[in-house]
Amino acid sequence: MSTPILLDCDPGIDDALAIAFAAGHPDIELAGITTVAGNVGVGQTTANALAVSEFAGAPSVPVTRGSAAPLLRAARDARDVHGDSGLGGAVLPPPSRDAEPGHAVDYLIETIAASPGEITLVATGPLTNIALAVRREPRLPGWVRDFVIMGGSAGRGNVTPAAEFNIWSDPEAAAITFGAGWTVRMIGLDVTLQALATPPVRARMSEFGTLGDTLLLPALAQYHDSAAGGDPAVHDVCAVASVAEPSVFGYTPARVEVETAGRLTSGMTVTSFTGSGPGTGSGSGSGSGPNAEVATSIDSGAFWDLVLKTYSGLASSMSR
Ligand code: RIB
Ligand code: CA
C-alpha cells in the first residue's frame, strides 16, 4: 500500500534528489509537486521540478507554481550553494509539459480536501505556500495524514548560527506553520547533516546509469553546502525517506517556536523538548504543548541503504 505525498519544494539540488527518491520508492506515490521560491526563483524551481520529475520517470506528476517571495521579507536565494540553475552541474532534457494552471496554495488545499486523512504533505523549501494554505483553509491541518518538513534545527543553523535556510528564508511563514494546530514532523539539521554523500556513496551512484551520470553526480559535484564541511548533505532526501521508512530516524516530542524578531536570531526554531514551550504562543499559534516531533537521531547506514536501493531500482526502470 503506497503512501500518497504532495511535495512542496524549491529545487534545488537536494530537492531534486528527493523528487527522484519519491519517484523511485515503491511505497511512495508522488501525487503532486508544488514549488516555491527558495534556493532559486520560483520560475526556476518550477522548471526544475518539471524537468527532474520527467527525467525520473514521473512525467505525469502535476507541478503547480507557488509563491515568488516570502510573506513579508525580500526573497533571498541560495544560488551560491545550488548554482544559478538550481541543479548544480546537472543539465537535464527540457520537460515536455508545462506547469499546471492556478496557484500552488489552491492546489494544495483542493487536493488535500478531496482526500482527507490520506495525503502526507512534505515541504522541503521555505514554508510560504504552507502558511498561506493554512491561513486560507484553517481546517487543512486536520485533513492531512502527516506533515513533514525539512527545516529548522534544535541546535545550530546553517545560514546564521541560529537559523536553517528554509526557516530563515521566511520566518513568519514558519511561525504560522508551526502554530497551525498539526504536529510538524521536523527533519532538521540535527539529523540531515549526518546524511552525507560521501565518496563511497557517490561511487555507488556511478553504477546507476543515466540517473547517476546525468542527475545525481553532476548535481552533487557542484553542491556547495558549506555547512557540511566536506561532503554534501542531502537534507531534503531525509524528509521523503522518513515517509518511506520512519524507523530510520528517531523522534522526540517538542514545542517549537519560531523567532521572527531577533536581529541575530531571526528564523531560529526555538525547540523545547520538555514540550512546555519557551514562547507565549505568540506567532507560533495557540497553546504551549508539543507541536512537533523533532528528528533527533538517524541511522545513517540504514538511510543510505534505503536511498541507494531506491535509486538502483529507479535506474533499472529508467534503463528499460
Ligand atoms: O538548509 C537546507 C535546506 O535549504 C534544503 O531544503 C535546501 O534545499 C535548502 O532549501
Ligand atoms: Ca529545499
pLDDT tens digits for 52-107?
Answer: 999 999 999 999 999 999 999 999 999 999 999 999 999 999 999 999 999 999 99
| Ligand 2 centroid to residue 39 C-alpha, Å | 7
| Ligand 2 centroid to residue 14 C-alpha, Å | 6
| Ligand 2 centroid to residue 75 C-alpha, Å | 14
Backbone dihedral angles phi then psi of residue 209, each to the nearest 5 degrees? 60, -140
Residue 311 near ligand 1, beta carbon < 6 Å: no
Say yes or no to pLDDT of 282 above 80.
no
Mark whether 224 is an active-site residue.
Answer: no
pLDDT at 278: 55
Ligand nearest to the CA of 169: 1
Q: Could you report the per-residue pLDDT of 189-206, keeping only the tens digit for each?
A: 999 999 999 999 999 999
**What's the mean per-residue pLDDT of the chain?**
95
Say yes or no to pLDDT of 228 above 70.
no
Ligand 1 atom nearest to CA at 14: 8
Residue 85 near ligand 1, beta carbon < 6 Å: no
Give the pLDDT band (50/70/90) at residue 283. Answer: very low
Side chain identity at residue 193, one-letter code: L
For the whole model, what pTM was predicted?
A: 0.96
pLDDT at 279: 47
DSSP the chain: -PEEEEEEE---HHHHHHHHHHHH-TTEEEEEEEE-SSSS-HHHHHHHHHHHHHHTT-TTS-EEE--SS-SSSPP---HHHH-TTSSTT---PPPSSPPBSS-HHHHHHHHHHHSTTTPEEEE-S-SHHHHHHHHH-TTHHHH-SEEEEE---SS--SSSSS--HHHHH-HHHHHHHHTSSS-EEEE-HHHHTT-B--HHHHHHHTTSHHIIIIIIHHHHHT---GGGSSSPB-HHHHHHHHHH-GGGEEEEEEEEEE--S-TTTTT-EEEETTSS-SS-SSSS-S--S--EEEEEEE-HHHHHHHHHHHHHHHHHHHT-
pLDDT at 138: 98
Residue 77 near ligand 1, beta carbon < 6 Å: no
Report, as an integer, the average pLDDT of 301-315. Answer: 98
In the numeric block, the cell 541560495 is attached to 78
User: What are the CA-CA distances from residue 320 to residues 57, 116, 314 (Å)?
Assistant: 11, 36, 10
pLDDT at 28: 98
pLDDT at 226: 66
Residue 255 near ligand 1, beta carbon < 6 Å: no
